[in-house]
Structure 1
Amino acid sequence: MTSTSFSLRSPASFHFPSATGACGHVRWIQPLAPKPFRSPLPPAATPAVSRRLLLPAAAGIWDFISGGAGGAAAATLAVRRGMQLFKQGDVAGSVAEFDRAIELDPRQKAYLWQRGLSLYYLDRFQDAAEQFRLDVAENPNDTEESIWCFLCEAQLYGVEEARKRFLEVGLDRRPVMRDAYALFKDGGDPEKLASNFSSSSDGELFYASLYAGLYYEAQV
């Protein structure tokens, strides 16, 4: 579950070896193989592209080479209908649409975090946890899906056991989500999470307040 805006890797130039000698004269040399691609950013700062972003393109390619009849496109429409139904409060209807999307294009299942949310709010915690675990297996840097899996399993097994089963993921670039991840993984004070971002942007305040509230919900 990534943020609503994404950045792709920056293009990089390729470097070619010089064919001149020390005095500037051209030297006849055997051609060298191109050097491996190197990002202009250091490895730790190179943003990863979510696999979920690549799914529509990959699905289109698959339909093209397999002669498919637009199953991926129909599945995408079903996902959109499911999201709209969830917003309208028809949670059961949203799950039906998400399941239809999987029937139309089984590849969708590994990316349907929306389905996990709907299942959670239908108290289908086992199914929701399985969805989130599947998603994290595809995207091992998804902080929010790790937390939502914990929320589901806290309802199933209790907080202590859910924490033992906690899905560890890579470092999130968002400070608010790093703090939220640490709170759910190790325990702590949710009020501190909310207060730490009370003067931050609306987005950070929203996430801090949301996950502080969900932390309390996990304790019930």
Structure 2
Amino acid sequence: MASTSLSLHFPTSFPFYTAAGARSRVRPTPRVVPAPFSPLLPAAATPAVPRRILVPAAAGIWDFLSGGAGGAAAASLAVRRGMQLFKQGDVAGSVAEFDRAIELDQRQKQYLWQRGLSLYYLDRFEEGAEQFRLDVAANPNDTEESIWCFLCEAQLYGVDEARKRFLEVGIDSRPVMREAYALFKDGGDPEKLASNFSSASDGEIFYSSLYTGLYYESQKDAELAKSHIVAACRSPYGSRSGDYMASLALVHCKCRNWTLE
């Protein structure tokens, strides 16, 4: 990718993920914000579907039956607008939409991992940690939200204290995220995370680079953080996948005033 200003790289279109698509294309279970009438698969057909999907779906059905679906539908649209604004680099605008979604439907809050990510980039770390803790309480098998809670609390309390508060979750089926989780939880050499997946799939290369860089950021090493997160952005997956986390890598660089050199 040629060197240019990051502001030119943000996607102009926004994919509306369904149960067949997700925040990450390498995830075995989708990470979506379901609309009340989304065509979600029944629980019996997909036992791996997390509660973050099934609970809002049930809430949407109740709203439909009780005549209160308008607020839930409007909240879902606000979440989508917030995601689009984040992907375009408007972090503050995304939080405003996510907060509006919560005002419209309080049940949204425990599933709004996107809001937690936005709060991190606004340096609102206490609120971000609270958001991720709510999410993990609703879905106790989410590796990435546990890591992001750590990232927020490392900024608030330092790495050692954040590690004492680390949220333990179930075993992730993705090797790259199992290793990332162990690194953040127990410490170690972050370069091993990147090198162990340097010849893996495009998605694993991206995620290992992203989380290696984020680990360095928690350690206050801006130069190594930049090196790995820029590499994540420039990777084939980071530049072409449309993954929400690929957009996050670009947002990270924009917020740190880094260019893709």
TM beyond 0.5: yes
Amino-acid identity (%): 84
How much does 1:10 deviate? 6.8
- Structure with higher Rg: it is 1
After TM superposition, the structure 1 = structure 2 runs for residues 1-220 of structure 1, keeping only pairs within 5 Å, are 3-4=24-25, 6=29, 11=45, 48-220=48-220
Indicate if the aligned counterparts of 2:150 and 2:163 stay in contact, CA closer than 8 A. yes
One-letter amino acid of the structure 2 residue matched with residue 214 of structure 1: L
SS of match in other structure, 2:59: helix
1:30 corresponds to which residue? none
8 A Cα contact 1:116 1:127, kept in partner: yes
CA shift in 2, pair 1:69/1:138, >3 Å: closer
Distance 1:201 1:92, change over 3 A: same
Shift of 1:56: 4.4
Task: Report the aligned-residue RMSD.
Answer: 1.9
Post-superposition Cα deviations, 1:2-27, rounded to whole Å, max 9, x if no partner, equal: 7446377675xxxxxxxxxxxxxxxx
Aligned pair count reads: 186
Structure 1 residue 47: Cα displacement: 5.3
SS of equivalent to 1:70: helix
Alpha-carbon offset, residue 71 of structure 1: 0.9
Q: What is the SS of the residue equivalent to 2:171?
A: coil
Matched letter for residue 184 of structure 1: F
- Runs of 4+ in structure 1 displaced over 4 angstroms? 7-11
CA-CA distance at 1:59 after TM superposition: 2.7
Q: Deviations 1:78-104 (Å, cap 9, x if unpaired)?
A: 000000000111100000000000011
Amino acid of the structure 2 residue aligned with 1:75: A
Moved more, 1-10 or 133-142: 1-10
TM-score of the superposed pair, with normalisation by structure 1: 0.80
- Structure 2, unmatched stretches of 5+, are 1-21, 31-40, 221-261
Equivalent pair of 1:51/1:139 in contact (CA under 8 Å) = yes
The structure, 1 or 2, with the larger RCO (C-alpha pairs under 8 Å, 6+ apart) is 2
Does structure 2 conserve the Cα–Cα contact (< 8 Å) formed by 1:2 and 1:142? no
